[in-house]
Structure 1
Amino acid sequence: MEYRTILHIDMNAFFASVEQSAKPELRGKPIAVVGSGHRTVITTSSYEARARGVKTGMAIWEGKRLCPELEIVVGDNKKYQHTSTEINKIFQDFTPEVEAFSIDESWLDVTYSLKMFGSAETIAYQIKARIRHLFDITCSIGIAPNKLLAKLASDMQKPDGLTIIKPEDVAGVMERLPIQDLCGIGKKMQRHLNLMSIYTCGELGRCDEARLTRKFGIIGRRLKQMGQGIDDSPVIPFGEEDEVKSVGHSSTLERDIDDPVEIRRFLLQLSEMVGSRARRYNVAGKTISLYVRYADFFSSWGKQTTIKRHTNQSDEIYRTAVGILETVDLEQPVRLLGISLSNLQHEVEQLPLFEDDRKKLEATKAMDSVNQKYGNMVVTLGSLLPGKEKRGSHVIPPSWRPDGIKKVDVK
């Protein structure tokens, strides 16, 4: 049987490490990276802070209570985006098959690069050396026959680790491994499996497939394979992803809001971000979705509507989102807003028939050109007043990619 050779590269405490590299006075100190808003939590912490119990998602006061000398650093998303993009360029020197899983994680399929570089271990050490030399930060690397196991391996030694799982060792590794250590097994799935007396991957891999399918439907078979360390999913290089199905953006607000005027202001900002990305990649959609999460964090709703024609115009997306909002009585102040455009048509650009529409298209193109050069929201619709106090908390979403339609520009 022919095995693939996959690397999973996980940057260690990425945001915190980038900050410590950029500011030598922070090196060796416990630091926490936070957002710029009034309502913010710890995005990530350095290993020095983690040793004191400071974790992602904690409130700043909680981190300070555990570690009084904790240094608070406001995150710089553009810096992290740039560093991640440059690191992914390093990976492409070793193989064209590079898939960004998030801003600080990537898979590499080096199966056909081994003859050139000698071994996967050699490739891993060269990557580590180049990242340390160029950026003065570290990464942990897992080497395995598939993506699932490579990610598992990269988590085994942190920071700055290198772990290899050979094909002949898979069964032994999986036997006693807790199911929650697998990528894709979240807390909810873990609880369901525990109720079935399944606690380890070995137990999951031996579980009757029919029993898993009755409980979880079509993913039952996939769960059993995961328990056995089986994963046939390919590494999908940049630009070769499946055709995108939707374009969306969401924002956690700096404070809970219930003023309809303020809510509409945020919806206009989100509509501009969604419309801009759709226009950049020449797609348009007929279905606009609005998502709202309330102040209690647990309550939320989402609704969508389909319009008569495909659009990527921000004002049309905005008007439709407002129309959805007007059908709902808000139960409490709003914490998060999200808008997405789906039911997409690709390669849509054509010259409008009417002069007013042509003028609008040219104005939109000019606005997009300025924003792409100088940053989002430099030029926007007149009704969206500028000022940081009117903006949401810009964070790097899980959908971030270094290039292509899935790339989300960050502040």
Structure 2
Amino acid sequence: MPQRTILHIDMNAFFASVEQQTDPALRGKPVAVTGKSARTIILTASYEARGYGVKTGMRIFEARQKCPDLICVPGNNRRYTSISRRIMAMLHDYTPLVEVFSIDEAFLDITGSLRLFGSASRIAHLIKARIRHRFGLTCSIGIAPNKLLAKLASEMKKPDGLTVIHQERVAAILENLPIRELCGIGRQTERTLTLLGIRTCGELGRFPVHILTRRFGVVGEKLHRMGLGIDDAPVVPAEAAPDVKSVGHSTTLERDITERGEILAILLRLAEMVGRRARKHAVAGKTVTLTIRYADFSTFSLQATAGNYTNQSDDIYQAAVLLLDSVDLRQPVRLLGVRITNLRHHTEQLPLFVEERKKALATAAMDMVNDRFGDFTVTYGSLIDEKKGAGVISPAWRPEGVRHVEVS
């Protein structure tokens, strides 16, 4: 296989940088972007705030203990997703092989573009200059022979960095690199590898493969290859991405709740969000999963599989209610989630029976109104007084397709 050239682009402190660019009074100051609920956390922090130790996921009072002058700004998700879409569209000027990794990250396979633009570094500089000129934002870019190493390279110099990892330098770079620095090795995997005496990528690459596969199954072979800096995964543009396996939404509640009526209202809203997105992309599911997180953060899921595929919100809701009624809630509820799986794609035909057909047509009419005038413009009576919007941008968010979620 000929050597590829991959770019990983990572926007620097994206949400906070957008806020600083929008409001010049915030520039050069410690800024933290937060959610809008009463129990919000730090979503991201500017580099000025990070210098004080403010980190993503911190509670606000903890962040203020580290940085008393911290300026907290409620997130503007519509602004972030709009800018992200335009940046991702810009990247297609350099290659059709663009894989959106998250709202502020993307991989580009520029192997076929080098002859046109001259070099990988030149492409990277062009991208950085255009993003700075158009949006006033900076990004860090990593260049390497594969996605694993390109992402590692983009993390090496922040903010506004550009790092190239050449194939002949891979072994030296990985030898003493902590395993947690590799994308795909989370805390649990790191703990397990540490128990095996593996702390660096060099040690991981030399560790006996048969022991890794005995402990991790087929993932063991992948971990071994990661330790060697090997990654054959292609850059997958949106049009070539495999069909999604699930459609779901979850929400962390502003306060812990116990009242059944409050829980049902939230389940109905979640079911409508799931159903509407599934209908928009002609997806239906047979299995409904309900996720509940208690006040002490213990979390569990329940699921049920029906005989028919559905993307009707009330069907999803009724299934979620049956699952809820199958358990006795031991504590107040902190988070609720609804998801459909066991999917069938491209389901656009009307139901056979008259009543089901009427329901489908009525739902389609409601979707048309909401598409034009905004989510929940037309909704169930019990949700009229509820707040609108998805609230939080999921890590699975994409600029288009079934993973795209309209946010408030």
**Partner in structure 1 of residue 91 of structure 2:** 91
Task: Name the counterpart of 1:43.
Answer: 43
Q: Which runs of 5+ in 1 are unaligned?
A: none
Residues 39 and 392 of structure 1: CA distance in aligned 2, closer, same or farther (over 3 Å): farther
Shift of 1:21: 0.7
Letter in 2 for 1:375: G
Matches within 5 A, 1:4-403: 4-297=4-297, 299-388=298-387, 394-403=391-400
Contact 1:9 1:142 in 2 (8 A): yes
Alpha-carbon distance in 2 for matches of 1:324, 1:291: 10
User: Aligned residues: percent identity?
Assistant: 59
Runs of 5+ unmatched residues, structure 2 = none
Q: Is the partner of 1:32 in helix, strand or coil?
A: strand
SS of the residue 1:357 aligns to: helix
Distance 1:346 1:294 in 2: 33
After superposition, give the CA deviation of every residue in 1:381-410 in whole Å (9 maximum; x if it has no partner). Answer: 22223333xx68721111101111121222
Aligned equivalents of 2:124 and 2:231: distance in 1? 21
Contact residue 209 and residue 220 of structure 1 kept, 8 A: yes
Q: Deviations over 1:304-325 (max 9, x none)?
A: 1111211100001001100000
**AA of the residue aligned to 1:99:** E
C-alpha distance in 2 between matches for 1:374 and 1:79: 18
Amino acid at match of 1:333: P
Instruction: Tell me, yes or no, if the aligned pair for 1:254 and 1:393 is still in contact at 8 Å.
Output: no
CA offset at residue 141 of structure 1? 0.2
Total equivalences in the alignment: 408
Give the Å deviation of 1:354.
Answer: 3.8
Residue identity matched to 1:405: V
Alpha carbons of structure 1 residues 8 and 121: separation in structure 2 relative to 1, 3 Å? same
Distance in 1 of aligned mates of 2:268 and 2:262: 10
Deviations along 1:65-123, whole A, 9 cap, x unmatched? 21111111000111111111110001101001001111111100000010110011010
Give the TM-score normalised by structure 1.
0.97
Distance 2:351 2:196 in 1: 59
Q: How far apart are the structure 1 equivalents of 2:242 and 2:232?
A: 16
Cα shift at 1:180: 0.6
Q: Which one-letter code corresponds to 2:40 in the other structure?
A: T
Q: 1:378: how far off?
A: 2.0
Report if the CA contact (8 A) 2:36-2:75 is conserved: yes
Cα RMSD over matched residues?
Answer: 1.2
Deviations 1:348-384 (A, max 9, x none): 2223334433332222112112222232222212222
> Are the counterparts in 1 of residues 102 and 398 from structure 2 also a CA contact under 8 Å?
yes
Compute the TM-score of the two structures, normalised by the length of structure 2. 0.98
